Chains A and B, each alone.
Chain A
Amino acid sequence: MPRVANADVTAQPPEGVVDCAMPRAIVENAVDAILVIDEKGIVQMTNPATQRLFGYAQDELLGRNVKLLMPQPYRASHDDYLRHYLDTGERRIIGVGREVLGRRCDGSVFPMYLSVAEVRNGKQCYFAGIIHDLSAQKGIENALRESRRRLDTLMSNVPGMVYRCRNDRGRAMELVSEGAAQLTGYTPEELTREGGMRFVELIHPDDRESVWNHIQASLAQQRPFQLDYRIRDKSGGEKWVWEHGRGVYADNGGLVALEGFIRDISERRRTEERLRQSEAYMRMTLQNAPIGIASTDLQGRLLDVNPAFAELLGYESRELVGMSVSDITHPEDRNETRRHFEALVSGDISRYELEKRYVRKDGSAIHARAQAGLVRDAAGRPLRVVGQVEDETERREAARALQRMRAYLKNIIDSMPSLLVGVDAEGRVIEWNRSAERSTGIAACEAVGRDFQALFPELAAQMQHVNESIGNRRPIRTERLPIKKNGETRFADVMVYPLLANGALGAVIRMDDITERIRIEQMMVQTEKMLSVGGLAAGMAHEISNPLSILMQGAQNLQRRLSNELPANRMVADALGLDLDILRQYLEERGVAEFIEGIQEAGARASRIVADTLSFSRRSASRHTPNQVDELLETALRLAGGDYDLKKKYDFRQIEIERDYDPGLGEVRCDRTQIEQVILNLVKNAAHAMVDARTPPPRRIRLRTWREDGLACIEVEDNGPGMDEATRKRAFEPFFTTKEVGVGTGLGLSVSYFIITEQHKGSIRVASRKGEGCRFTIRLPIAGAGEAT
């Protein structure tokens, strides 16, 4: 049967396909799309649902190949499919139905369920397709699948392991997330397969029991559990984990499984440990800090104090907490403290430092240095104030002690009799002590900073020693350096020593004027000499005294036996017929008497020398007896008055004797005759000098005594010609004399010096100037020289 022409077939189904009203209504109102095609695939009929589903109008579909409604690859294979079916009868859809894809008018593709029925109308074969739109159903499935995929993604990306396991000691895992591999080193497969690694074996042996107990206890109360414990991963590394889980219960209330989550908290534990250590360190530091540390709230109330702070203020730490800064601040310093504190809290200043006084619990005040700073929270808001307090009392005390020590050292340097000059390596003066000021007449403030050589040309050569001394790090000593100054030669010991401490480069030049010492040394050498002379003389005195005796006694006999007065002479002369008067004339004419006198005088002089020399021999102080000083002086004056020479040649009575005795001086232990000898010697010298120099009257000798520091002082002063410098210096030298040859022995003053210094441990000094008289001062220990001499 030829197929009906397209033109006249509108909505009419092919004849014989649908020809009753009820099926037609069904087709028209079906929710599913129904369309009929012929064996070539040409659309013969559609229903309204088809038009709705595919978006085509009916006339756009009728007569068209059904391929129009198919996306590729269905479209391409549809013709072959139909032919294949018609040729072989082999079906794929027909009578079966399957899910395929449809294509809408706008090109969009959607899932549909297609079932096809074969309709035979005679030889003509038609196919009726019933199409159910699967779009909505497919959407739900897709959403479900997507949700699962997302969950999988989430679980595998979670840092940690999501699990489900049985609640037994083995904790064999039923399900674990991908994170297991990262956490434990085992893949999910290794953990979940039958006979695989049981989770309990990963838990640190020491923690297994406590983990089990904790979980069971939580389950017993039907509560979720949370706990930290250690595991060992596959590589043996230890990790801290945090587990959060709960029991899963069936509808009947039975426990089915455990589900939960385990994550690695090693890093957190390490951080916590570091924080703990840091806090412990801070606490230790605070506890043991030698300075006081305290924190206060923003109102200045103490929140926390360390032991040093409490100790500083004499409180117990707990007593201080809650007190205010003002409570422990000295009333006079409270305003200033408050001002600083408020400025700090308000943010005007970031910190402050204050010297202030605190009041201790016992009420005493202490000086301290306080420093404070503000602690802010993470948001930068002021949180509290932290302060440090250092006891200044000790520092002030130390500063005072330092000041005292400086003054003391300065005093030591300035009080030194030595001249002391400190110079740097360039020779500039750094230190200049008072002796240096006195010696040069240049004040320290003028000297410091100037060139040493310019200030001290006499010691310019010492600069070389300064450099040498710094270089060798050794002191250099120059002894008895002669220094010409104002026409006088003085002697000095100069010591240059490098300053080695504290890396300072420089040196100290120390100079001691030893001129006096050298003089005393020379005197001592002389004294020693005289002592040996004295010792020798004592030994020789007996031997010398005999020849002198023969000499002088012989001369005396000679003189007497040549005179004409002695009766024995006359008797002998008469017997011999000698005229004694003529003999006398002869002797006179020949000057014999003078020769005899000469012999006598020479003998007398020699005996005096021997006697003086003998004075140098040491004598025992045990012969020293207490003597009134003024009596000694009077005896000496009486002896002087009775001295033949003084009486005849020096007219002693014409000299005024002035006495100025200290009535309270009392007795001195001494050798009476020796001291008398000394005084007599001084008095005689004075008389000799005044007469020899023809000092115009009034000639005066003044004797004065006084007491001074346990010493009896005796002064013998004249208004004679005095001595020049050279004479004065040599006055006590043995055999030094200003008198004519033969007049003195040259030993008088040296004997006196010896008696006073050696035998009596006293001193004798002379002060004199040419033309201004002479003054000898003797000082004797009142208690005497003691037994030893």
Chain B
Amino acid sequence: MSLRVLVVDDEVRVAGTLQAYLEDEGMEVRSAGSAEEALALVEAGEDFDVCIMDMRLPGMDGDAAIRRLHQVRPHMRYIIHTGTAGYGVPDDLRALGIGNRQLFMKPLPDMAPLVQTIRSLGSAG
């Protein structure tokens, strides 16, 4: 059973390159261009092991999206992938188990460490 990953990023090509890499790693990947789209997918019945979430998004931002998604899919794990300098993980998200290890700053010169993190999160879940 391959890992199911949801990539949320308003930049289609960022989401696209991540999706390509992860699919090459044998994962099942879906992309969403906004928090609302991601929520719609989940509420429509889709389920994921790990969600890679951009923080700055049009409409609902990443933090809020994680809180909402968590209510719907409590088992889902998150990786924060942001380009915002000096971003710190809010305390309530830390309480959901999102630590510095799950924080990846854009741009990623190498996506291999990201894959490792997804795998460890997915296997733990």
Binding site for B on A (CB under 8 A): 537-538, 541-546, 548-554, 556-557, 560-561, 566, 568, 600, 603-604, 607, 614, 617, 619
State the CA gap A221–B40 with chains docked (Å): 152
> Is the Cβ of A604 less than 8 Å from the Cβ of B24?
no
Q: A614 touches which one: B14, B21, B23, B86 (CB < 8 A)?
A: B86
Contact with A along B8-20 (1 / 0, CB 8 A): 0001011001101
> Is the Cβ of A545 less than 8 Å from the Cβ of B83?
yes
Q: Which residues of B contact A548 (CB under 8 A)?
A: 106-107
Min Cβ gap B58→A in Å is: 13
Q: Which residues of A contact B13 (CB under 8 A)?
A: 550, 554
Min Cβ gap B55→A in Å is: 9
B109 CB-CB contact with A under 8 Å: yes
Q: Which residues of B contact A566 (CB under 8 A)?
A: 24
Contacts A550-B11, A550-B14, A566-B24; is A614 near B85 (CB within 8 Å)?
yes
Min Cβ gap B12→A in Å is: 9
> Is the Cβ of A556 less than 8 Å from the Cβ of B110?
yes
Q: Secondary structure of the A side of the interface? A: helix
Query: For chain B residues 42-82, which have a beta carbon within 8 Å of chain A?
Result: 56, 82
Q: Secondary structure of the B side of the interface? A: loop
Q: A554 touches which one: B17, B85, B106, B110 (CB < 8 A)?
A: B17
State the CA gap A552–B108 with chains docked (Å): 7
Q: Which residues of B contact A604 (CB under 8 A)?
A: 109
State the CA gap A607–B17 with chains docked (Å): 17
Q: B21 touches which one: A537, A557, A600, A619 (CB < 8 A)?
A: A557
Q: Which residues of B contact A537 (CB under 8 A)?
A: 85
Which one of A542, A560, A561, A566 has the greatest number of beta carbons of chain B within 10 Å? Answer: A542
Q: A603 touches which one: B21, B84, B109, B111 (CB < 8 A)?
A: B109
Binding site for A on B (CB under 8 A): 11, 13-14, 17-18, 20-21, 23-24, 56, 82-86, 105-111
> Is the Cβ of A607 less than 8 Å from the Cβ of B21?
no
Min Cβ gap B71→A in Å is: 27
Q: List 27 A-B contacts (CB under 8 A).
A: A538-B85, A538-B86, A542-B56, A542-B83, A542-B85, A546-B11, A546-B14, A546-B106, A548-B107, A549-B107, A550-B14, A551-B107, A553-B21, A553-B107, A554-B17, A556-B17, A556-B21, A556-B110, A560-B24, A561-B20, A568-B23, A603-B109, A607-B107, A607-B109, A614-B85, A617-B85, A619-B86
> Is the Cβ of A603 less than 8 Å from the Cβ of B107?
yes
> Is the Cβ of B86 less than 8 Å from the Cβ of A553?
no
> Is the Cβ of B24 less than 8 Å from the Cβ of A561?
yes
> Is the Cβ of A552 less than 8 Å from the Cβ of B56?
no
State the CA gap A327–B27 with chains docked (Å): 120
Q: A541 touches which one: B11, B17, B18, B84 (CB < 8 A)?
A: B84
Min Cβ gap A421→B in Å is: 54
State the CA gap A554–B106 with chains docked (Å): 13
